[in-house]
Amino acid sequence: MTDRSRAADRPPLTADAVAPLVAPRGPLALAAVVDAEPSTNTALATALREDPGAWPHLAVYLADHQTAGRGRAGRVWETPRGTSLTLSWVLRPRATGTDLAWAPLVVGLAAVRALRSLGLDAWIKWPNDVVVRVDADDVAGWGSWRKVAGILCEVVDDAVVAGTGINVLQTADELPVPHAASLASLGCEASRLDVLGALGAALRETTAAWDDHPAAVRDEVEAVCATIGWDVAVDVGTAAPVTGTAVGLGADGSLLVRSASGRTTAVLAGDVRVRRA
């Protein structure tokens, strides 16, 4: 595929293109769309602090191209222009305090629902990735699973800023790491606008359920969490990795890891490496 033909298949996400998805016709409460932004989370958090009343629940700050996206542990990533859906949501859940630790898992559940509606067998990889299993050689730390989306949630005053990045149109040669995949590389022909609409609708439903039936949402998160059942090593910073079998999620959203001796450890944050899935 030439650069010119690739550009033709990757129309920019503009305010006009996104407008049909904004309320009252669509699932988005409000959409601010920019051509490029280093980090949509940073930009939205700043705007939210300056004028919190201007950003209702399910308002979105979307960049057609993000140049310095932020991930867990301060990682920075960038994708080719026109290939990814990069945006940040304002969420105003009823949950407070430690219950907000569920935010990335609830957003992950919405992403799973959205991608499944588009034909992909998507799952959550605890704590903040969305993955699909592929028929390909294993990748160290990931096995046969490939990452299609990442989530980064931050509490800003009484709201949550939920950054979401989904690989949509990258070809195999444009994927940055061996454990990454895009919807296109998996055979899904959805556009970035298709994914945005599906994700907005799913997030509206999922956050409403989180408010009204939090226990049921937690059960559904656990049901679509691929990590449960894996033999894992969880990197938790300076301490030694927590190793064992992931057996479930705690009430606070932690990953419960049972060691070979039968001891169960609740891991609140960390990077999961697959030893055997």
Q: Which numeric CATH code is attached to 231-276?
A: 2.30.30
Domain extents in the chain: 3-223, 231-276
β-strand pairing of 59-66 with 30-37: parallel
Residues 3-223, CATH architecture: 2-Layer Sandwich (3.30)
Residues of the chain with pLDDT under 50: 1-5, 73
User: Residue 219's Cα: distance from chain center in Å?
Assistant: 18
Answer yes or no: pTM beyond 0.85: yes
User: Residue 36's Cα: distance from chain center in Å?
Assistant: 20
Whether the CB-CB separation of 13 and 192 falls below 8 Å is answered with: yes
What are 119-170's pLDDT values in tens digits? 999 999 999 999 999 999 999 999 999 999 999 999 999 999 999 999 999 9
Q: Which residues of 101-128 are buried (b: 16+ CB within 10 A; e: fewer)?
A: bbbbbbbbbbbbbbbebbebebbbbbbb
CA distance 217 to 233: 26
What are 37-54's pLDDT values in tens digits? 999 999 999 999 999 999
> How much is the pLDDT for 86?
97
